[in-house]
Structure 1
């Protein structure tokens, strides 16, 4: 499917209708649990797992390193035969594809596993930043030689002489760097202390990492010494295999809750609750500042969108749940007043320059924006219904977020919708079902 034209259903539906969906398991939790289970002692069963391109890339990398993994997509079950912290393969060629989590997590694990490896990636991943992590690993004694551009894939990695110690690591660009080293630092002979520098305002994905680690039996020591935050991983610790339930992906759920706001109807995503360990749950709460009403039911949170789809714009700092910046942008074009999104400079270095993509594609629709280095203000305006093709930049979040606009504005055509398979391969099929049912 090269293109997908969204069916506009605004004011063609009964606002008492409810969008009820089930979304895949969390990408973030699935890939953390995969890596941790691979290093655990014994056999782990991951229930409710995600089978996106990113998860498949992680599984392929672990397979190459000698980890046996049994996959049952129909039952959403992954069985991982852990290696007890001793990777069976000490010399290998690894390709992480376009998966940012695999890229960062696998790199740190190999840096702490006393072997010689060559790591490659997709053209898209080659453009994404790795330098803060790689520089920290070099400071520990890892020998890295770059095939192409310094600080980027592809590169060779020799970790045979690495013993552990202390590193300083910036999380300004990505908190995945920190998650990567704390998940695997215990593998080092002398353990690892990680001092945080140049940090982001909050690190919900790191908190998630720590929670999954603790669920598999490994304690993380976090200390605050006069404002300097450090994570300490002691050598000799280990993960214990277990049966593990993976939460539904809240990042995916947010698109359906956003639909409720845009259309003025209700939405419920099965199994999504306010106590989720995923940072994007804050976006669901944020919708209440735009006139939505939130209630938590037995089967999951229900969002009642603003009545008749009429709501005000807001100013919001999305630093800690920036995957939803594009989603908020889609909602904002139908608001009565401007919306300002701040705290998102780092999204310029993700699968695409998401801030620039937002600006370019909104301006195609006649929506004026003002963009700063880490912020954007969106000025809603009436839009005609002429066909407009939305470029997706091979970025799943651009594709899914801009599809939301098409539910209320005629003529939105999404180019390369299949890029959504990175995290949510059935998104557009589910969207088909929603528009068909609601517009009956």
Structure 2
């Protein structure tokens, strides 16, 4: 599909959507299972492209010397640490965009633990030549300013290290909730994990008391697109089953961040009900340092509502699947929103006008799904809509369930 035309004849959303499993939980449990519990049953796994890539890597590494993580950033970081702690030699590569995404802080930390990793091409970036071995562990100081995935990758191999692992960092890491999520996933697997201020301590634990099975929660990042749609709809009543009221996914804060747009969620039974509500006051600033993946759900919705505010803490968006700050600015300008941007912020000016526009997706799944909500105000076109398979393959079918007209152009 080169392009989709997306519209909604009534502007009213009614229905039940079974969202995919959390990509973040799925990828953590898959790696932990491969490391410590190969026979542990996992249910509710994500069907995202990223999770499929990690599963393929875990299935292939014992029989292949050259491995490719494609454009899956989580798989690249997690699997780098995984291979470094295994006996063997591999070359781990990625897509053209992945070769532009930094991995030096993780490689530096693994080298300090005794890993042998080289850069065959550009220093600090994939591909990587990894000679895996048993690592001793110990004390690490790590740069956590670019990605929390570096810390999560190291945390998950820590129980297998002879001395366990103690990690410290300066300042506030980006996406700190993902570090807590990793710790929670490990605790559910029976490991002892201590997160104390600016450090993590994980003792060596070779035989944890494993659970009988693990159930993966649905994905809160995926839920964010439906909250954005409810905010722009004339009316909304959407049920998303399977969510926990006290989730460890950082993106579960999305309902609070959407509240100024007149939408809220209510937990009923095993799931959430999304519906319209009286809007709360719009803040002057929203800091997304802990939840950068919500940017493309929140910013188009706030822009479409004509709100004026600054989104900050966006520095990691520059090194994602695309430069997401530039992509948001480019596409919002098509609607008359002349937002101001910097290295870590985007400031909405309030000039949005709904009209038919063709949205470029830049090879980025979140651009497609975040801007889809605008079709509730006026028909739009989405270019390269297949990018949603990276995290949410059923997205366009679920749009149809809630009354959207989805047509190939």
- Alpha-carbon distance, 1:378 to partner: 1.2
Match of 2:330 among 345, 357, 360: 360
Match of 1:322 among 292, 307, 329: 292
Match of 1:304 among 253, 275, 278: 275
CA 1:106–1:417 in 2, change beyond 3 Å: closer, same or farther? same
Which residue of structure 1 lines up, in the alignment, with residue 29 of structure 2?
33
| Residue 407 (structure 1) aligned with residue 376 (structure 2) | yes
CA 1:311–1:405 in 2, change beyond 3 Å: closer, same or farther? farther
| Residue 260 (structure 1) aligned with residue 263 (structure 2) | no
CA 1:313–1:221 in 2, change beyond 3 Å: closer, same or farther? closer
Match of 2:140 among 142, 155, 167: 167
Match of 1:247 among 217, 225, 241: 217
| Residue 342 (structure 1) aligned with residue 312 (structure 2) | yes
Which residue of structure 2 lines up, in the alignment, with residue 18 of structure 1?
14
Which ranges in structure 1 are unaligned for 5 or more consecutive residues? 67-88
Match of 1:398 among 343, 347, 367: 367
Maintained 8 Å contact 2:164/2:204: yes
Which residue of structure 2 lines up, in the alignment, with residue 62 of structure 1?
58
- Alpha-carbon distance, 1:293 to partner: 3.6
- Alpha-carbon distance, 1:399 to partner: 0.9
Which residue of structure 1 lines up, in the alignment, with residue 88 of structure 2?
115
CA-to-aligned-CA distance 1:245-286 (integer Å, 9 cap, x gap): 110111001111111111142222122243111111101122
Match of 2:40 among 30, 40, 44: 44
Match of 1:281 among 239, 252, 265: 252
Secondary structure of the 2:141 match is strand
| Higher RCO (Cα < 8 Å, 6 or more apart) | 2
| Residue 103 (structure 1) aligned with residue 76 (structure 2) | yes
Which residue of structure 2 lines up, in the alignment, with residue 73 of structure 1?
none
Q: Give TM-score scaled by structure 1 length.
A: 0.86
- Alpha-carbon distance, 1:336 to partner: 4.1
Q: Give TM-score scaled by structure 2 length.
A: 0.92
Show structure 1 runs of 4+ deviating over 4 A.
309-314
Structure 2: distance between partners of 1:366 and 1:62: 46
Maintained 8 Å contact 2:71/2:95: yes
CA 1:205–1:161 in 2, change beyond 3 Å: closer, same or farther? closer
Maintained 8 Å contact 1:367/1:380: yes
Secondary structure of the 1:156 match is strand
- Alpha-carbon distance, 1:160 to partner: 3.2
Secondary structure of the 2:118 match is strand
1:135-174 pair list within 5 angstroms: 135-160=108-133, 162-174=135-147
Structure 2: distance between partners of 1:184 and 1:120: 20
Maintained 8 Å contact 1:40/1:239: no
Structure 1: distance between partners of 2:382 and 2:284: 26
Q: Using the TM superposition, name which of 314-323 and 191-200 deviates more.
A: 191-200
CA-to-aligned-CA distance 1:324-352 (integer Å, 9 cap, x gap): 11111111123243132111111111111
Which residue of structure 2 lines up, in the alignment, with residue 427 of structure 1?
395
